[in-house]
Amino acid sequence: MDSLYIEYGRCSVNKHDESLCGDSCSLLREAGGKLTAVLSDGLGSGVKANILSTLTATILSTLMARRLPVDECIETVASTLPVCKQRKLAYSTFTVLQIEDLQARLVQFDNPQAILLRGGKLKPYSSSVHFIGEKEIHESNIMLQEGDMLVLMSDGVTNAGIGKLQPDGWPRQEVAAFLEQWYTPDATPQRMAALLVDACQSLCLDSPDDDITALVFQVRQRRAVNVMIGPPARPEDDAKICRIFFSKEGLHLICGGSTAQVVGRYLGKSPVPQADTATDTVPACASMDGVDLVTEGIVTLQALTELAEKYAQDNRPSLEIHKGKDGVSRLGVLLFEQASDINIFFGQAVNLAHDGLDIGFSQKSALVKRLSQALTDMGKNVKVSLC
């Protein structure tokens, strides 16, 4: 299990004309590797639904992570939720997923049944049914394998297109067929979540009549990515830092022209600009033997950080970054979707090229801090080393 990692992707779209989503997700990772996730759908839409689903997801994930009996957890939620004055109900559906040592436990109430893909194909699994009060609870235990994908969803997915392109909604079997169609061995859970929600949007003619959420998990091999941002503070340390950097397992990415020059001297190579990777806002990337990606520095870092903060909340940008050739898109795919462990070597040297510009070292340091926090929020193991 040490070589395997549970990656996840999540995507939501609000009901039309609503500023808040009535679906909520909560994910907790424990030091030992156990993961507890809850997808909840509150009654109705808007503020009331958001409150109901947020309370349900937060309380259930916290109590389930503490290994309390599921009956006690659900009864606690039921007694805590505020009652809707109009419907006289305190109601929120939920799907709970716990994974520990590849053993998955699913506890499902009134959400569409989670879909398991194994080898890219729908894999049936058994469930036991019991009642807690009037709630019909479906519980399953699944031994996961490398490559497995588990897709959790709110009923906004299976109701997508009702009265529009899908008169009777989008049946679970058809949703599974869609996922099978788009699955490839290198498909990421983030991209699969984004594709599923985007398809629902299309079925709804871009005007959903319900909140739509997909939460996708995948068992995959760990992958380390190492990023060097800025040269070391002392030029005499350049070779030593480069030696440590390249001794790390995984991909090696360079961010910044000055940093590329330091690495180039160490490797005895020169960066070669790639003109077709520039955009109106992001300078071109470069290639260098021995390095997996070389990008420009502060402008790319600024755009990457802003993208990371959006991506940490919702993975819909996955669809765009997979199309892009620019440095931000390529860094985004590698850091947001392919990496499980990220080592950032942050050089403390002052860049003389920035003299007279509104680009100080403190700004760069703040960007690295924001980026590392966003990556951590995505569930990555991030280590920042100052050099």
Domain limits at 49? 12-220
224-229: strand order across its sheet: 272-274, 285-288, 291-295, 251-255, 224-229, 341-346, 381-386
Residues 67, 46: one domain? yes
Q: In the block, which residue shows the tokens 């061995």?
A: 185
Residues 161, 301: one domain? no
Residues 216, 268: one domain? no
Does residue 348 sit within a domain?
yes
Residues 229, 216: one domain? no
Quote the pLDDT of residue 85: 61
Quote the pLDDT of residue 161: 94
Domain boundary among 164, 185, 220: 220
> How many other CB atoms sit within 10 Å of the CB of residue 290?
12
Does residue 371 sit within a domain?
yes
Residues 69, 110: one domain? yes
Residues 181, 308: one domain? no
* Helices 257-267, 238-247: inter-axial angle, 10-degree rounding: 80
Which pTM was predicted?
A: 0.92
Does residue 252 sit within a domain?
yes
Lookup: tokens for 123: 């894999």
Mean pLDDT by 10 residues, the chain (387 residues): 88 95 94 91 90 94 93 88 63 93 95 97 97 91 97 97 92 98 96 98 96 97 97 95 97 96 96 94 95 96 97 95 96 97 94 56 91 97 96
Quote the pLDDT of residue 82: 73
Does residue 5 sit within a domain?
no
Distance CA 223, CA 328 (A): 20
Residues 243, 150: one domain? no
Residues 64, 187: one domain? yes
Does residue 1 sit within a domain?
no
Quote the pLDDT of residue 90: 61
Residues 190, 337: one domain? no
Does residue 3 sit within a domain?
no
Contact 22, 42 (CB under 8 A): yes
Residues 175, 307: one domain? no
Pick the closest to residue 344 from 328, 354, 359, 331 (CA basis). 331
Domain boundary among 196, 220, 244: 220
Residues 56, 164: one domain? yes
Residues 36, 127: one domain? yes
Does residue 4 sit within a domain?
no
Number of domains in the chain: 2
Quote the pLDDT of residue 89: 58
